[in-house]
Structure 1
Amino acid sequence: MQQTSTTINKNSPSFDIFQDEEQKQLWEHQIGEHSASFSDVQKVGNKKISINVQFSSLGGLKVLEVYLGPCKVFRDLKTVKNDTRQDLICQVLVLSGSCDLVFGGDKIRLNKGEIVLIDTTKPMQFEVKKNLHCLIIYMPLVLIHDWIPRIWDNLETRLIKTNTTQGSLLKSYMQLIQKHSEINRKEVPKKKDSKRAFVPLIVANMSMLVYALIHINKSRPKTAREMQLDAAKYHILIHLSDANVSPKTISKELGFSIRYLHWLFHQEKETVSQYIMRKRIEQAQALLGSSADSFFSITEIAFMCGFNDSTHFSRRFKQHVGLPPSKYRYDRYRNK
């Protein structure tokens, strides 16, 4: 992890990042109450910060394109502990410029073309010395944490380089989400099921993010079989919302026989179809446990997880989890 010079003197006077209460309320209205945690960020010094934010959204994701001038801001431990709102994860892509970031105990120099993940569970501070242009995607932290809890809790780095295959794909998905969210903001959807058009994009971004984190936090050399199995699992995660994904489509895409694909998964004591269903149910659990019905309905979650209809989804979900989706959501989300 590259060391940076960003430090906040505890004796330095700090001020609310917003100039007045009206500006703060406008921000919270635009970003939505579920995503308002970072509205309590403080700045060092009382100089006005040059900032321009373009808001849009896609389903339950909040998408921000931010132009930020020189500043030094922070969110301290006391603020983190007092925040009772839903924990969020911010997926930040630097489009131009750079900044020095401190998150928890990690210090990162963030440059153009790099992606970093921060969330609302730890203190944070960052400094922009010139100008910064970045793309930020907000989503509930539980969507990622509950999918890969052991990996997330033991991350060696939150910095994703976009000169890798995984980082490059993640960057492209983030930019596609930005494009479609802007279209969604400007144009009134004509059909009830219009969300189905961008559901695969949301799921692909989440899956690619998980895959990138798994990739950068594994250092042990892999055998050819392990790499082939990873490639198959990666393909499944990216296409999880596609109801037609199957051993046949996977083997065709990866260039080996269906029989060989089954052999790869047999070593894991799980069939290809069982793995696909398990990941779909796990993703559904994360979505249900992190969102109210106003974010995603159960029918929309069914489509996001690769089911053609909510009846089939509800039946499968209850078989695996022991509760219908509506009851699972009530028990998890209402008690947060």
Structure 2
Amino acid sequence: MSHPNDLFCQNWSTSDFRPRERFDAWQAALNDSHLSWTLQKNQKTGFSANLQVSKLSDLQVVRCMCQPCSGYRKSREIAAGRLAYYGLLLIYKGKEEVATGSRTALLGPGNILLWDSTEPIHFKLHSPVHKITVLVPQNRMHDALPQAHRLIGKAMDWRHGLGAVAASHITALCSQASHINHLQAHPAAETTLELIATSLGSQQAQAGETARAEFIDRIKNHIESNLDDLELGPQTLAERFNISIRYLHLLFSNEDRTISRWILERRLERCRRDLVVTGPHKNITETALAWGFNDGAHFSRVFKKRYKVSPREYRLSKTR
């Protein structure tokens, strides 16, 4: 890797090597900048790549432009590393497939992915790519974003909002790296890490909202399937989903009704439907008991409060 005058920015290119030496030289350069990798060339002849490594305090920003290839980090490559890093991969051009843990992501321009240097990973470039990887020591990332590990292997979109701001910052950082001196390296690293953590945090919050909504749907589906259970209520739901009653109520705090109210209204709706479908021959109290009410008088009161008429009056009005 060639070293220009600025210690904080180094550049490398396959054009400095004979054609048959280029891929092996590329693997050596990649290992020097991206930790240890084992690579495979996708094409039999010809290969070209360019690399820029900018060192800002304990962060490394690596800009890479190369032709299609693939590679992996397994136990041997992982063991060769001395420090644990998170790699923030940002794609500017081309397509890259990344598999880590149980997740496989296909990334295109504007997509990012966070990977863990201590976990196996496999990548494949489907076309020539232009990408930037920011290597952040894991202890630094944990200080800035304690739940960062939850985003590992997840493709995220940084084409809009704060993600686009972070992507633009990283692009500018690469283009201006050779003009950053040793007095500016540490504040530049701090600013970069804070912006990355804030952008990832917003992605995590969105993911958390999606997970929360999915969890609430699971609870609602369970309620719908068990309305005839006299014991159905906050206590049994909390036990069924292995959460506290307080957390159960917190989940429904942004809904338009409480968990108890949700159960009551779903039971009332089932009863209302049955009063019409079964006609005048089925006993109203039997209908109420069939859907989890344990008292006919109580059912009549809450039904009238909800539908403005008694169960009997409602059934007569519909059957006529």
Q: 1:114 is matched with which residue?
A: 111
Are 1:19 and 2:24 counterparts? yes
Q: Which runs of 5+ in 2 are unaligned?
A: 1-21, 213-320
Are 1:160 and 2:163 counterparts? no
TM-score, scaled to structure 1: 0.48
Q: What CA deviation, in whole Å up to 9, does each residue of 1:111-160 have, x standing for no partner? A: 011111112121111111221111121121221134443x2343376322
Q: Which runs of 5+ in 1 are unaligned?
A: 1-16, 223-336
Counterpart of 1:103, as a letter, is T
Name the SS for the 1:125 alignment partner: strand
Give 2:102's match in structure 1, choosing from 95, 101, 105.
Answer: 105
RMSD: 3.3
Counterpart of 1:19, as a letter, is D
Moved over 6 A (4+): none
Matches of 2:83 and 2:186, distance apart in 1: 26
Counterpart of 2:142, as a letter, is H
Are 1:218 and 2:213 counterparts? no
Matches of 1:208 and 1:89, distance apart in 2: 15
Counterpart of 1:201, as a letter, is T
Is the contact made by 2:170 and 2:192 (CA closer than 8 Å) also made in structure 1? no
Q: 2:82 is matched with which residue?
A: 85
TM-score, scaled to structure 2: 0.50
Shift of 1:211: 2.2
Q: What CA deviation, in whole Å up to 9, does each residue of 1:38-86 have, x standing for no partner? A: x333326795643211222222221221111111211224432x23410
Q: What CA deviation, in whole Å up to 9, does each residue of 1:279-334 have, x standing for no partner? A: xxxxxxxxxxxxxxxxxxxxxxxxxxxxxxxxxxxxxxxxxxxxxxxxxxxxxxxx
Matches of 1:140 and 1:161, distance apart in 2: 23
Give 1:198's match in structure 2, choosing from 188, 204, 224.
Answer: 188
Q: 1:40 is matched with which residue?
A: 37
Matches of 2:155 and 2:64, distance apart in 1: 19
Matches of 1:127 and 1:214, distance apart in 2: 26
Larger Rg: 2
Alignment of 1:288-299 (within 5 A): none
Name the SS for the 2:173 alignment partner: helix
Matches of 1:97 and 1:175, distance apart in 2: 16
Give 2:91's match in structure 1, choosing from 90, 94, 101.
Answer: 94
| Greater CA drift, 87-96 or 48-57 | 48-57
The answer to which structure, 1 or 2, has the higher relative contact order (CA under 8 A, 6+ apart) is 1
Shift of 1:196: 6.5
Q: 1:304 is matched with which residue?
A: none
Q: 1:78 to 1:66 in 2, by over 3 A?
A: same
Q: How many residues align?
A: 191
Shift of 1:28: 6.1
Q: 1:130 to 1:203 in 2, by over 3 A?
A: closer
Matches of 1:115 and 1:28, distance apart in 2: 21
Shift of 1:110: 0.3
Name the SS for the 1:218 alignment partner: helix
Of Structure 1 and Structure 2, the greater helix share is in: 2
Q: 1:66 to 1:221 in 2, by over 3 A?
A: closer
Matches of 2:125 and 2:141, distance apart in 1: 28
Q: 1:78 to 1:162 in 2, by over 3 A?
A: same
Name the SS for the 1:116 alignment partner: strand
Percent identity, aligned pairs only? 18
Q: 1:113 to 1:209 in 2, by over 3 A?
A: same
Name the SS for the 2:118 alignment partner: coil
Are 1:52 and 2:42 counterparts? no
Matches of 2:90 and 2:197, distance apart in 1: 17
Matches of 1:196 and 1:144, distance apart in 2: 15
Q: 1:107 to 1:44 in 2, by over 3 A?
A: same
Is the contact made by 1:58 and 1:177 (CA closer than 8 Å) also made in structure 2? no
